[in-house]
Amino acid sequence: MFPPDRRRTALTLILSATALAASGCSGRVATVEAAPHANDPVCASAMVAMPEELGGEPLRPTDSQATAVWGDPAAVVLRCGVEPPAPTTDRCVTAEGVDWVVKDEDANWRITTYGRDPAVEVLFDKSRATSDAVMVGLGGAVSQIPAERGCVNLEDAEPVR
């Protein structure tokens, strides 16, 4: 038998470990398909910098590598490791030093980093998150992936020969 002080210490450690385990499992695990290049080490740098909250929604656990989900049900879904978009005439927006190609898809926005390899793709519900909150909130994490090029105005683009 342990002396009373050691029993109290052991009990405290057991209760602390149980509380940590329970808090790590809070929230339903979101199922997200991993991107083709999710195992790229650069994605790991970005993923550890993801915010705990985005647009007022809490981060929750996912079941695949290099993915993140905020909200339950999901308001924002992120996948690192998608193919970088090719040069495009689609709308490109810069926020917090990160360039994003923006696509309007009915009830959702799909934004994909431009000029970073691998790229990060984010799908979010227009009614539950704003593009400003998402782009600004993810800027620090996505900046962990070095920019190789950026958006340009059509007038400033070099002609393709």
| Domain definitions of the chain by residue range | 41-152
Instruction: Indicate whether 133 pLDDT > 90.
Output: yes
Dump pLDDT digits (tens) for 2-52.
Answer: 454 443 333 333 322 223 333 344 579 999 999 999 999 999 999 999 999
69, β-bridge pairs: 60, 77
Give the strand order in the sheet containing 53-54. Answer: 53-54, 57-60, 67-70, 76-82, 119-125, 108-113, 98-105, 92-95
Q: What is the pTM of this model?
A: 0.79
Please name the residues in contact with 139: beta carbons below 8 A apart, sequence gap of 6 or more: 95, 96, 97, 98
Dump pLDDT digits (tens) for 111-129.
Answer: 999 999 999 999 999 999 9
